[in-house]
Each structure stands twice: as structure tokens, then as C-alpha cells.
Structure 1
Amino acid sequence: MKRKKHTASDDDAQIDMTPMLDIVFIMLIFFIVTTTFSSERGLMANRPKDNPNNNEPSKALSIRIDANGQIQMGGRIVDIRRVVANSQTYLAENATETAAIQAHEDTDHGIVVQVMDQVKIAGIQNVSVLVKKD
């Protein structure tokens, strides 16, 4: 009887990767099929549409807030505590239901909210914040 000599190729064990790849692909398909995608919920803003044909002057109360937090009403600087009185004076002279607040982008949001609250206390319920259109 003749004995076989072991060669170098017999010493290297080969692992068959096909079953492992099949399992990986089956798991991948399973996770893709069973994944549910949820839609994110947020606040929807009701913004008015641009109307370039409107040539009537606006009677809305105009308030500007600069980057330092200074409030301007009617071209003069006003303290936050005097916004109610100035708004009521404007309402006595002009029949309006709206106010527009134009704040600088670096203005503290707390000041803008305080001005909005003061204007609502004065009796104006429709308050809008103007944003820069890009």
C-alpha cells in the first residue's frame, strides 16, 4: 500500500462563505422590509401669499427692533414698558387690527415676544413678525 504524501494545499483549510453571505442578505432584506418610516410632525405656518397688486397703504402699526433690542415706534425709540400706551395711542388715531414687528436677525427672541405680548394687551390681536425674504 502506498501512502499519500501531504501537500501544502491539503494543510490550508478553506471555509465556504456562501451560506454566511446568504444569511447576511436575508437579514438585510428582512430589516429593509420591516422598517417603518415615520413622518416628522411640526408646526405649519399660515403665511399670506405675496400680492404685488395691492397699492393701498397699510394702516398696520409698525414696530422695529434693532440688534441691541431698542424698540422704534413711529420713528422714535420707545421703552418696552411704553409699548402698550403707544399702541393704544396709535389705535385711537388709526382704525387698525394689525401690527407688524420687524426685528433684526440678531435680536433676542425674548424681546420680540415681550413686544408681541404688549401689543396684544393694547388691543391688537393680529400681530405678524416680518422676515427677510431670500
Structure 2
Amino acid sequence: MKRRESLGVDLTPVIDVVFILLIFFIVTSVFKKEELALVLDLPKSSAKESEVSKDDIFIELSPTKLAIKGIEVSFESLEDNLKEVKDKTKPLIVRIDEKVEYKRVVKVLDLLQKYDLNNLALITEKEEPRN
């Protein structure tokens, strides 16, 4: 007499797929923090940290490059982007490398003032307390 074995569902492939999806979502969530284009050495400050949301407009300035919303642009393109900002109260997050010449900073600030974009935050790195 032959005995039939009960056929069960093999869960191994399902578990593999679940782990692969879990790893995918963990990896993508870690790398998608902010859309930043330039690697900057920010000046240190002991001021408290401010809240930054993903809807804010990021402007980055290095000694040789300029970026807005994570895309490298020229000063002319920056001006075109700033013309397009509808909500004048929308926060502008400005990240400036500590080695940038002052005249480049003034040029960016002049453009912001020209289009009445006054709600800005200058981002710094938190200064480590000395012991």
C-alpha cells in the first residue's frame, strides 16, 4: 500500500522574496536623505539645529560650483529657478562651504533679495563641545 504524503506549501521562496524586499527598502531609505549635489565643509556653530523638511529649497555654494535642488547650475540658471518660486514664504536652505569667497555669497544673497525670498536658513555643522 502506498501512502500519500500531504503536499504543503514551500515557504522558502516567499521568505527569500520578503527578505530581498526588506533589504531593498532599508537601503533606499538610508541613501535618500537630502537631495544634495555638492560635498561641502560647512562652518561650525554652537547654535541649535533647525528643522528641515523635504519641501524646502536647497541652495548649495562651493568655491567653484553652485547647485539648487540637488542640480548643479550657473548663476543665470539659479536666477531662472528663483523666478519660478511661487510661495515667497517657502524656506530656502542655504549651505555654503567655509572656503567660499564672500563676493560669491553676496551674489547669491542679492539674487534672493531681488526675488523677495527672505525666509532663509544658513546651515552649519554642529560644533563639538570641548572638555
TM-score, normalised relative to structure 2: 0.51
Compute the displacement of 1:120 (Å): 2.0
Q: Which aligned pairs between 1:25-64 and structure 2 lie closer than 5 A?
A: 49-50=48-49, 57-64=53-60
CA displacement 1:89-125 (0-9 Å, x = unmatched): 2x23x67432111011111121111101102212311
More helix by share: 1
Give structure 1 regions of 4+ aligned residues with deviation exceeding 3 angstroms. Answer: 47-51
Equivalent pairs, count: 82
Compute the displacement of 1:58 (Å): 4.4
CA RMSD of aligned residues (A): 2.7
1:79 counterpart = 2:46: no
Q: Structure 2 residue aligned with 1:128, among 105, 121, 129?
A: 121
Compute the displacement of 1:59 (Å): 2.7
Compute the displacement of 1:49 (Å): 4.4
- Which residue in 2 is equivalent to 1:115? 108
TM-score, normalised relative to structure 1: 0.50
Instruction: Report sequence identity in percent.
Output: 16
Question: Would the alpha carbon gap of residues 131 and 49 (structure 1) be closer, same or farther in structure 2, given more than 3 Å must change?
Answer: closer
Unpaired runs of 5+ residues, structure 1, are: 1-46
- Which residue in 1 is equivalent to 2:92? 99
Bigger RCO of structures 1 and 2 (CA < 8 A, at least 6 apart): 2
Which structure has the bigger radius of gyration? 1
User: In structure 1, the residue corresponding to 2:125 is in which secondary structure?
Assistant: coil
